[in-house]
Chain A
Amino acid sequence: MRDLSLHLLDLAQNSITAGASLVTIRITVDEQGWLTMVLKDDGKGMSPELLARVTSPFATTRTTRKVGLGIPMMMENAEKAGGSLTLRSEVGKGTEMTVTMDTRNIDCLPLGDLSGTVLSLILTNPMKPEFLFEGKTPRGACSFDTREVRAALGSDIPLNEPEVAAWLQEALKEEMDPIFGGVS
């Protein structure tokens, strides 16, 4: 994975597979350069046993092969940048992942195209779940909530309809890129 936005795109898929109805993503970069990314869902959660081994590359829920690299690769990249990856989960309640990285560390991944990631997540999951994104950096704060979009658009329209997709792309760029920079 070349940047944080690609990790996010990958890891959010775990929340979707867990049957979440709301996926919340919060990314903050503080004045000292510490980055915190929280990915929270209200999906089915993990048992303590699964939670204990899920950071191993040899744990996966997929059936096509025996390795699952999403979480271990994020963990390695976080730790390389002086940070950490922690998970909290409760069966029936959901899962919360917190990733920290020191953006002053030379091994810290670039943020990447965060608005492109949020767009991809929405368009490939056009009916469910809802996504809430909140960002905060020294440049300002931004937020985007698909529940607001759906309330204005009508809940019978999938968000990947071409006209809607074009609007989402512009709206996400306008909201997020000034805060995070639009590097792709």
Chain B
Amino acid sequence: MKSLADLQAIRAKTLENINMRKEDDKAARVVIGMATCGIAAGARPVMLKFLEEIKERDLQHVTVSQTGCIGMCRLEPMLDVILPGQEKVTYVKVKPDMVDRIVTEHLIGGTPVTEYTIGAAEG
């Protein structure tokens, strides 16, 4: 059973992580489109999959956030991966089973998965 008392211990560990993150400049962001179009196309399972992978691999420097509709609904679910010092990379028509490669090759390895990007879909 989870209880609110667990949160005391989590607080201590999380503060440590936040301070560690402040010191290094590796902070990466994943931004997922979660407007009506994104949700209808399946953005939620994609987001939950990212959270699962980040937890499993203990990627303390990655944060997941959301954005609205950017006007390309037919390409949803869409997401951006933003690594420090690099241009943002936009992935389109993302399915939960594509998340593993994006995490391994891009968030950890630093190399975008080119065939999933908007450039490959629209180019």
Contacts and interface: CB of A to CB of B under 8 A. Distances in A.
Interface of A: 1-2, 6, 9-10, 13, 62, 64-65, 68-70, 73, 113, 116-117, 119-120, 123-124, 148-149, 152-154, 157, 160-167, 169-171, 174, 184
B114 interface: no
Nearest to B4: A152
Contacts of A13: 34-35, 68
B6 interface: yes
B40 A167 contact: no
Contact of A161 (B18, B34, B58): B18
B84 interface: no
Contact of A10 (B39, B45, B55, B64): B39
B40 A1 contact: yes
Interface in B53-78: 54-55, 58-60, 63-66, 68-71
Contacts of B4: 148-149, 152
A9 B36 CA distance: 9
A97 to B, nearest CB: 15
The 3 closest A-B pairs by CB, nearest first: A64-B71, A171-B2, A124-B66
Given A123-B51, A157-B14, A152 B64 contact: no
14 contacts: A1-B39, A6-B39, A13-B35, A13-B68, A119-B48, A149-B4, A154-B11, A157-B11, A160-B64, A161-B14, A162-B17, A162-B58, A165-B55, A171-B2
Contacts of A153: 7, 10-11
B7 A152 contact: yes
How many chain B residues sit at the interface, stated as a range, is 35 or more
B8 interface: yes
Nearest to B54: A162
B5 A123 contact: no
B79 interface: no
Nearest to A17: B68
Nearest to B58: A162
A64 B34 contact: no
Contacts of B51: 123, 162, 165, 169
A169 B45 CA distance: 13
Contacts of A157: 11, 14-15, 18
Interface of B: 1-2, 4-8, 10-11, 13-15, 17-18, 32, 34-36, 39-40, 44-45, 47-48, 51, 54-55, 58-60, 63-66, 68-71
B39 A163 contact: no
> Which residue, B8, B11, B18, has most C-beta atoms of chain A within 10 A?
B11
A31 to B, nearest CB: 28
Nearest to A154: B11
Nearest to A1: B40
Contacts of B18: 157, 161
A64 B69 contact: yes
